[in-house]
């Protein structure tokens, strides 16, 4: 569902914004045309509005202080609806967003240096976050340095981890962002399911990046808490690991050592700490440094 978001306007500014809305994508009086997206959709605008509202457009419309280009400006790498949302904001200080375009409008707001538009996008994304989109939103939050959105996405993932790891967005996370997710103690899923999710992610990433599974998975695999697995589960994991070498042999050996010594030994303490969704196993009491 689309919804209009607006920055705070007062008095004459609000009236002026309303007057400008009638000029949105209106060929009358326009003096610049953009050809946008693969659809080559024409978008009409007014140089004075774009130039005074956005430094990036000022440079685009008058490169190096030279004469303004008269031919249509081609923007082939942006969706028309996304570009129109940016133009709407520049004219009215408001933007109409829906879940289909919100993340791409956020991207454009960063590229064009529009901080107020960026804030509106972040608030909209936080309020409309879904299982299907949360990983994509988290990736964008990390990429564009939106710390508040990043924390919001992580909390959302922690609340419904089992559903999130089955989404396409999870498969498309970068290795660094996936590792950040796996560091959480509050993931609502058992470790065995996380191992399987990381294995599936690694095979997808390996195919996309054309790099070996152990190489693409090196960073997130360090966050898997193998000592939490029961001996039978660890044995099965070791057998599966012979096929793709997802997990370093040293990590599996360290997990076996924890079982043999009946305590967390030789591994970081966080790897012996059950998560919120970890199913209890009998040996977990031996991993607790405060247990008896």
Q: What does the block give as tokens for 40?
A: 């080559």
At 64 the pLDDT is 66
At 9 the pLDDT is 53
At 291 the pLDDT is 44
* Residues recorded for the chain: 292
d(CA 8, CA 136): 28
At 68 the pLDDT is 64
At 206 the pLDDT is 98
Residue 3 bridge partners (DSSP): 97
Could you give the domains of the chain?
A: 19-59+71-122 (3.30.710.10)
Rounded to whole angstroms, the maximal C-alpha distance in the chain is: 81
Q: How far is CA 248 from CA 121, 211, 218, 261, in A?
A: 41, 16, 8, 20
Model-wide pTM > 0.85: yes
Nearest to 253 by CA among 181, 241, 214, 135: 241
d(CA 44, CA 24): 8
Phi and psi based region of residue 275 (left: phi greater than 0; alpha: psi -120 to 50; beta: remaining):
beta
Q: What is the per-residue DSSP string for 27-84?
A: -TT--EEEEETTTTEEEEE-HHHHHHH-HHHHHHHSGGG-PPP-SPEEETTS-HHHHH
Residue 36 bridge partners (DSSP): 41, 75
Residue 258: exposed, middle, or buried by beta-carbon count in 10 A (0-12, 13-18, 19+)? buried
CB neighbourhood size of 260 (10 A): 10
CB neighbourhood size of 62 (10 A): 14
CA dihedral 171, 176, 179, 185 (to 10 degrees): -110
Helix then strand count (H, E) for the chain reads 17, 5
What are the pLDDT tens digits along the chain (292 aa)?
Answer: 677 666 555 556 667 667 778 889 988 889 999 999 999 999 999 999 999 999 999 998 886 666 666 789 999 999 999 999 999 999 999 999 999 999 999 999 999 999 999 999 999 999 999 999 999 999 999 999 999 999 999 999 999 999 999 999 999 999 999 999 999 999 999 999 999 999 999 999 999 999 999 999 999 999 999 999 999 999 999 999 999 999 999 999 999 999 998 776 678 999 999 999 999 999 998 886 554 3
Q: What does the block give as tokens for 55?
A: 């430094």
CB neighbourhood size of 60 (10 A): 19
CB–CB of 228/272 below 8 Å? yes
Q: What does the block give as tokens for 32?
A: 């610049």
Question: DSSP state, 131?
Answer: T
């Amino acid at each position: 569902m689309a919804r209009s978001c607006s920055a705070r306007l007062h008095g004459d500014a609000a009236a002026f914004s309303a007057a400008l809305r009638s000029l949105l994508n209106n060929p009358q009086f326009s003096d610049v045309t953009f050809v946008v997206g693969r659809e080559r959709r024409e978008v009409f605008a007014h140089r004075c509005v774009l130039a005074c509202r956005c430094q990036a457009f000022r440079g685009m419309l008058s490169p190096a202080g030279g004469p303004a280009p008269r031919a249509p400006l081609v923007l082939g790498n942006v969706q028309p609806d996304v570009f129109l949302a940016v133009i709407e904001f520049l004219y009215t200080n408001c933007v109409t967003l829906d879940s289909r375009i919100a993340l791409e409008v956020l991207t454009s707001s960063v590229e064009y240096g529009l901080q107020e538009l960026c804030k509106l996008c972040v608030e909209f994304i936080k309020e409309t976050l879904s299982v299907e989109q949360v990983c994509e939103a988290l990736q964008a939050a990390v990429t564009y340095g939106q710390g508040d959105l990043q924390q919001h996405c992580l909390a959302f993932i922690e609340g419904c981890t089992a559903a999130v790891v089955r989404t396409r967005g999870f498969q498309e996370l970068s290795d660094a962002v996936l590792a950040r997710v796996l560091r959480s103690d509050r993931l609502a899923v058992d470790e065995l399911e996380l191992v399987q999710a990381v294995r599936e992610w690694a095979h997808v990433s390996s195919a996309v990046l054309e790099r070996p599974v152990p190489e693409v998975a090196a960073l997130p695999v360090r966050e898997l808490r193998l000592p939490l697995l029961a001996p039978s589960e660890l044995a099965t994991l070791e057998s599966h690991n012979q096929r793709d070498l997802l997990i370093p042999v040293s990590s599996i050996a360290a997990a076996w050592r924890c079982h043999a010594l009946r305590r967390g030994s030789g591994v970081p303490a966080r790897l012996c700490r059950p998560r919120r969704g970890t199913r209890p196993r009998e040996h977990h009491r031996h991993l607790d440094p405060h247990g008896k």
